[in-house]
């Protein structure tokens, strides 16, 4: 299957993060190479673009897309949470910009075999990195009911989480839940008919929750943002596009902490944290235009936040 992904907030990201065409830039979520390709068109011959992705299919697709670009570029198959070791392996300490697009690629969603989509039937997988031993199948078929309920409630913000977990556990007593279609049917059975009539697809929140658990998507965000800022040159920028409120909350809170000189509790009479601000915000969060949402409905929930190293 050809790797296809519609890049969201493309020009907004590049215009916000690119400050020096001769600099070093890291696309931490390479995907099909949309942001990387646009960035490469604006980099000078001596500029360096580093693309990171844990999905080999994404790296192969980006390699094909960027093969004729004039700037220097290289790709690393790894998880962006290992930023310190990735840059060390490339003998780099400081760079001029980082790009994050935290959405699941259209390719992964649309490829039924990857098991991300509640719209396409396939085996329950949801791994962004095929080397990851934890799959959606393992979670759905082995996690305790309480753990399933907690994950679906926290990561999916699903009001029927407890009931869905109960139905999953009851169903798997008879036989394993093997495919995305099996799981969708269990979820539909768990959610009362009146609640299924309005709003998004009834399985959307549960699928999001399980995907986040498989890939530890939220657990790595704060530390990764702090690591990236430590590797930014002064004046360098970090741009992050989020697609759901949980991610956006973590990014917003982390950036806010890094913007403050003191993070002591407000009731302390003197500062004891000795914390110094490391970034400043580059304006308000950026959202897609109505035109972009019309052309790509998946862009609707996207938010771009950008900070600059001080």
Domains delineated in the chain: 10-102+218-309 (3.40.50.150), 132-215 (1.10.150.170)
Global confidence as pTM: 0.85
Which tokens hold the place of 178? 């093997």
Report pLDDT digits (tens) over 230-264: 999 999 999 999 998 999 999 999 999 999 988 78
Contacts 24+ apart (CB under 8 A), 41-48: 41/69, 42/14, 42/18, 43/18, 43/70, 43/71, 44/71, 45/70, 45/71, 45/72, 46/22, 46/71, 46/72, 47/21, 47/22, 47/23, 47/71, 47/72, 48/23, 48/24, 48/72, 48/73, 48/74
Report pLDDT digits (tens) over 75-118: 999 999 999 999 999 999 999 999 999 987 666 566 667 888 88
Report pLDDT digits (tens) over 190-233: 999 988 888 889 999 999 999 999 999 898 999 999 999 999 99
Which tokens hold the place of 212? 């986040």
Chain centroid offset of residue 8 CA = 13
Rounded to an integer, what distance in angstroms lies between the CA atom of residue 214 and that of residue 174?
A: 24
Rounded to an integer, what distance in angstroms lies between the CA atom of residue 274 and that of residue 265?
A: 13
Rounded to an integer, what distance in angstroms lies between the CA atom of residue 232 and that of residue 279?
A: 10
Mean pLDDT on 10-29: 97
Residue 1: the pLDDT is 46
Query: Taking a C-beta distance cutoff of 8 angstroms, is the pair 273, 262 a contact?
Result: yes
Q: In degrees rounded to 5, what are phi and psi of residue 275?
A: -85, 135
Which tokens hold the place of 237? 């920028």
pLDDT band with cut points at 50, 70 and 90 for residue 177: very high
Rounded to an integer, what distance in angstroms lies between the CA atom of residue 291 and that of residue 289?
A: 5
The dihedral sign for the CA sequence 31, 286, 291, 66: negative
Residue 273: the pLDDT is 80
Above 80 in pLDDT, residue 283?
A: yes
Query: Taking a C-beta distance cutoff of 8 angstroms, is the pair 26, 90 a contact?
Result: no
Query: Taking a C-beta distance cutoff of 8 angstroms, is the pair 32, 4 a contact?
Result: yes
Residue 206: the pLDDT is 97
Higher pLDDT, 32 or 180: 180
Residue 269: the pLDDT is 85
Rounded to an integer, what distance in angstroms lies between the CA atom of residue 137 and that of residue 123?
A: 8
| Helices (runs of H) and strands (runs of E) counted in the chain | 14, 7
Pairing of strands 279-281, 303-309: antiparallel
Residue 25: the pLDDT is 98
Rounded to an integer, what distance in angstroms lies between the CA atom of residue 294 and that of residue 142?
A: 40
């Amino acid at each position: 299957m050809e790797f296809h992904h519609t890049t969201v907030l493309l020009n907004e990201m590049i215009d916000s993060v690119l400050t020096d065409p001769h600099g070093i830039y890291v696309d931490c979520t390479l995907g099909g190479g949309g942001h990387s390709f646009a960035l490469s068109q604006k980099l000078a011959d001596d500029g360096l673009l580093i693309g990171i992705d844990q999905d080999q299919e994404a790296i192969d697709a980006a390699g094909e897309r960027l093969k004729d670009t004039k700037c220097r570029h290289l790709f690393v198959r790894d998880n962006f949470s290992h930023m310190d070791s990735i840059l060390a392996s490339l003998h780099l300490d400081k760079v001029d910009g980082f790009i994050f697009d935290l959405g699941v690629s259209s390719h992964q969603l649309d490829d039924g075999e990857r098991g991300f989509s509640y719209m396409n039937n396939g085996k329950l997988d949801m791994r962004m990195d095929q080397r990851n031993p934890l799959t959606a199948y393992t979670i759905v078929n082995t996690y305790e009911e309480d753990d399933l309920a907690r994950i679906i409630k926290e990561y999916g913000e699903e009001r029927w989480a407890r009931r869905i977990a109960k139905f999953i556990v009851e169903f798997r007593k008879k036989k394993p839940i093997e495919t995305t279609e099996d799981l969708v049917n269990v979820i539909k059975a768990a959610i009362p008919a009146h609640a299924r009539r309005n709003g998004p697809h009834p399985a959307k929140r549960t699928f999001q929750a399980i995907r986040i658990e498989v890939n530890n998507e939220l657990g790595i965000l704060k530390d990764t943002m702090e690591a990236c800022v430590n590797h930014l040159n002064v004046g360098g920028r970090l741009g992050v596009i989020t697609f759901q409120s949980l991610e956006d909350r973590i990014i917003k809170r982390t950036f806010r902490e890094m913007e403050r000189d003191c993070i002591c509790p407000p009731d302390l009479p003197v500062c004891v944290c000795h914390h110094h601000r490391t970034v400043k915000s580059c304006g308000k969060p950026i959202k897609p235009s109505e035109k972009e949402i019309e052309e790509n409905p998946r862009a609707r929930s996207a938010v771009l936040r950008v900070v600059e190293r001080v």
